[in-house]
């Protein structure tokens, strides 16, 4: 089973397909139909095929109604998750999905990515995903059927729409994340809807930041209307999220006819459309089911829609990646739009139909280098969720949750995983264009059974502190420092004055005097004090907890870098109560800190992890300064610093220590018992991710 996304709200976003059948002619399965595929000639695909027909190392995720993975013109080009054992009932690659050999059905929670013919299905909707897949990568030169715009690019089929053609934003967002985490290079979205979703927007941002191109269709006239609408002031999604992004993260495509004119049925609009491509009179593969009379054919023609224009563009991008697989989404969008062909426009489409008509040859010639061309397609799959995910110990704590954010990389999201490391949710805490990462902690601010997330913007962003619940609802949001400050914020929360109300404690992560600020929940500054020498500007880490059981939480700080590795304990008035030299006086890489009852004496101990430059040294100290635990969390050559947290993760009644490496190392979360013995590990992102991660556990 996949993980179930838990939300307070149910998203009522309905998406509809952007391709449709005008007049259908059922074709015999043995006929060659390349002569009917005028659109391939129009975009100059055969000229590019002289150099490459695509590489099987390139993967396009087709999010749609499902794909017939056994279709004779597609089966050789269906993505295979080689780390998964078929039909054994186990999640072999530990990516959160059982038996996902060829993809996943996010509508019906199924490992089969084929269309599901429910009682209200329509034939055209059931066929839609298979039709799109054939446009992209129907096998060439097999003496049957059609040619895809690529010959052997792999299709990752992900079901996000039912066989009526409807679906919700939560499934789409989760499918995009799945595609990114499992090695897709391109995501094709041949649908659109009217409602917005923070989860979906966040997943698109995540894809872009991780080098995955998202291609979306403009949509078509619906509800009996004869002409498409102007999306400029009446946007649909996902294609129009680009109106809100600071970067162009989605390649939006509308449909043209044989005369290079914008079709009457396609939507258009400034800020949403980047490119035009043919979208009329298509022939392609369809779903075949010998048990049902409606699905006896393998091919069909006469299809029209921006769905198919988007599919052509996705395939074109795959051809470019086959010429240079280092190309990022930004470059792919730039090349495809700038190297486009001539459109014949009516006045109403001026500045609302993108840069021009797709011309694959012009774009290909722009980036082509024989030395970079992938000449020998290889049968390979990329599972970037990491097959190293390892669970060694049974977890008795079914309520356990792991919270993960990125230290950098432009994401303002928190990923929440359950005790089996299945992703439950991805919360967009602060928009990615507001900052460059998140520092997070948890605190019981509103007593309701769940702790809340206290997030501070990491270095490079506006110094927000934001408190959100586990559903993403904002409880509090304010600036901890001047808006021009970009050094990052570390924040913690607790009742530091014993008045029964939670305070927010904020410190600079870098580039500022060592000032500790105490705010009420509304962001009103109550007190502040200086924790180290006033000239110190290396930043601090902070946690809050009652170390001496006096009903008042102490404020514990440690240097981020540049001075003696002293951990200091203060009361809310800034009075120093205790200090501990955590590491050698010669070490100046800083100290990461956490609080937990390590030795089961009903008192909190201080857990430390060495900062950048030191070995991955984790320790725990009592309030009296006595060292209780000392171990190396990673290999001695890992010098990027160690984040630490404490919690009874496995539910055995004893505290566990959770670690994560800093920026420059992979996203390798490890779990140790209170004595420092390794228990289990987890990789929340691809092994190529090196931006550093923050962790919390509840």
Catalytic amino acids? 64, 128, 307
Q: Please tell me whether the peptide bond between 238 and the residue prior to it is cis, using omega within 30 degrees of 0.
A: yes
- The set of residues, in sequence order, having a beta carbon less than 8 Å from that of 617 and lying 6+ positions away, is 583, 609, 610, 630, 631, 632, 633, 642
The helix (H) or strand (E) run that includes residue 99 is: none
Q: Which of the 8 DSSP states describes residue 178? A: H
- The set of residues, in sequence order, having a beta carbon less than 8 Å from that of 500 and lying 6+ positions away, is none
Long-range contacts of residues 464-470, Cβ cutoff 8 Å, at least 24 apart:
464/430, 464/434, 464/435, 464/489, 465/489, 465/491, 465/504, 465/506, 465/519, 465/523, 466/429, 466/430, 467/493, 467/504, 467/521, 468/427, 468/429, 469/8, 470/401, 470/416, 470/425, 470/427
- In three-state secondary structure terms, 372 is coil
- Give the DSSP letter string of 417-482: E-TTS-EEEEEE-S-GGG-S-EEEEEE--S-SSSPEEEEEE-TTS--EEEEE-TT--EEEEEESS-
The rounded distance, in Å, linking the Cα atoms of 447 and 500 is 12
- In three-state secondary structure terms, 547 is coil
CA 386 to chain centre: 15
Neighbours of 337 (CB within 10 A): 17
If 0-12 CB within 10 Å is exposed, 13-18 middle and 19+ buried, where does residue 535 land?
A: exposed
Largest distance between two CA atoms of the chain: 85
356 close to 363: Cβ distance less than 8 angstroms: no
Determine phi and psi for 320, rounding to 5 degrees: -65, -40
Which region holds residue 71: left if phi is over 0, alpha if psi is between -120 and 50, else beta?
Answer: beta
Q: What's the angle, vertex CA 162, arms to CA 135 and CA 175, rounded to 5?
A: 70
- In three-state secondary structure terms, 201 is helix
């Amino acid at each position: 089973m996949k993980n179930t996304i838990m939300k307070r709200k149910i998203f009522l976003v309905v998406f509809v397909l952007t391709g449709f059948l005008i007049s259908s002619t059922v074709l015999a399965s043995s006929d060659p139909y390349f002569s009917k595929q005028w659109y391939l000639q129009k975009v100059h695909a055969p000229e590019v095929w002289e150099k490459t027909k695509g590489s099987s190392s390139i993967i396009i995720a087709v999010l749609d109604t499902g794909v017939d993975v056994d279709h004779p013109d597609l089966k050789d080009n269906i993505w295979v998750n080689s780390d998964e054992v078929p039909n054994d009932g186990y999640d072999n690659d530990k990516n959160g999905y059982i038996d996902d050999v060829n993809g996943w059905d996010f509508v019906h929670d199924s490992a089969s990515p084929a269309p599901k013919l429910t009682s209200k299905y329509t034939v055209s909707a059931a066929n839609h995903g298979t039709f799109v897949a054939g446009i992209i990568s129907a096998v060439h030169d097999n003496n049957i059927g059609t040619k895809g715009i690529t010959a052997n690019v792999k299709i990752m089929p992900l079901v996000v729409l039912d066989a009526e053609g409807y679906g919700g934003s939560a499934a789409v967002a989760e499918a995009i994340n799945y595609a990114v985490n499992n090695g897709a290079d391109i995501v094709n979205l041949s649908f659109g809807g009217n409602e917005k979703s923070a989860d979906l927007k966040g997943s698109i941002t995540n894809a872009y930041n991780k080098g995955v191109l998202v291609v979306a269709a403009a949509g078509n006239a619906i509800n009996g209307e004869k002409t498409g609408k102007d999306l400029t002031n009446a946007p649909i999604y996902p294609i129009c999220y680009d109106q809100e992004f600071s970067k162009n993260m989605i390649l939006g495509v509308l449909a043209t006819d044989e005369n290079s004119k914008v079709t009457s049925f396609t939507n258009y609009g400034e800020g949403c459309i980047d490119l035009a491509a043919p979208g009329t009179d298509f022939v392609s593969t369809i779903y075949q089911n010998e048990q049902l009379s409606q699905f006896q054919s393998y091919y069909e023609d006469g299809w029209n829609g921006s769905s198919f224009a988007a599919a052509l563009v996705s395939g074109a991008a795959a051809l470019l990646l086959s010429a240079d697989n280092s190309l990022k989404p930004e470059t792919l969008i730039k090349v495809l739009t700038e190297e486009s062909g001539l459109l014949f426009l009516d006045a109403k489409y001026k500045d609302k139909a993108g840069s021009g008509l797709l011309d694959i040859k012009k774009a290909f010639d722009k980036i082509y280098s024989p030395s970079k061309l992938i000449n020998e397609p290889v049968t390979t799959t990329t599972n970037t969720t990491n097959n190293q995910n390892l669970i060694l110990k049974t977890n008795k704590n079914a309520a356990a949750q792991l919270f993960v954010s990125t230290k950098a990389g432009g994401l303002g999201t928190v990923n929440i995983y359950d005790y089996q490391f299945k992703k439950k949710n991805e919360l967009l805490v602060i928009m990615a264009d507001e900052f460059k990462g998140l520092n997070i902690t948890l605190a019981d601010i509103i007593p309701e059974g769940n702790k809340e997330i206290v997030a501070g913007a990491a270095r490079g962003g506006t110094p927000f502190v934001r408190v959100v619940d586990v559903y993403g609802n904002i409880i509090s949001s304010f600036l901890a420092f001047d808006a021009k400050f970009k050094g990052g914020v570390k924040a913690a929360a607790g009742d530091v004055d014993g008045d029964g109300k939670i305070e927010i404690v904020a410190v600079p992560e870098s580039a500022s005097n060592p000032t500790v600020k105490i705010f009420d929940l509304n962001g009103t500054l109550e007190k502040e004090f200086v924790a180290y020498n006033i000239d110190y500007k290396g930043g601090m880490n902070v946690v809050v907890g009652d170390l001496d059981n006096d009903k008042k939480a102490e404020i514990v700080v440690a240097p981020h870098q540049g001075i003696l590795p002293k951990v200091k304990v203060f009361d809310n008035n800034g009075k120093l109560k205790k200090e501990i030299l955590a590491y050698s006086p010669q070490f100046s890489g800083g100290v990461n800190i956490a609080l937990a009852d390590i030795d089961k004496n009903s008192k909190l101990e201080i857990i430390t992890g060495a900062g950048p430059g030191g070995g991955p040294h984790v320790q725990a100290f009592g309030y009296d300064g006595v060292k209780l635990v000392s171990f190396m969390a990673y290999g001695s050559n890992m010098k990027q610093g160690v984040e630490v947290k404490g919690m009874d993760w496995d539910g055995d009644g004893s505290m566990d220590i959770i670690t994560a490496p800093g920026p420059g190392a992979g996203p390798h979360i490890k779990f140790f018992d209170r004595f420092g013995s390794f228990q289990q590990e987890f990789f929340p992102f691809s092994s190529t991710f090196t931006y550093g991660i923050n962790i919390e556990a509840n």
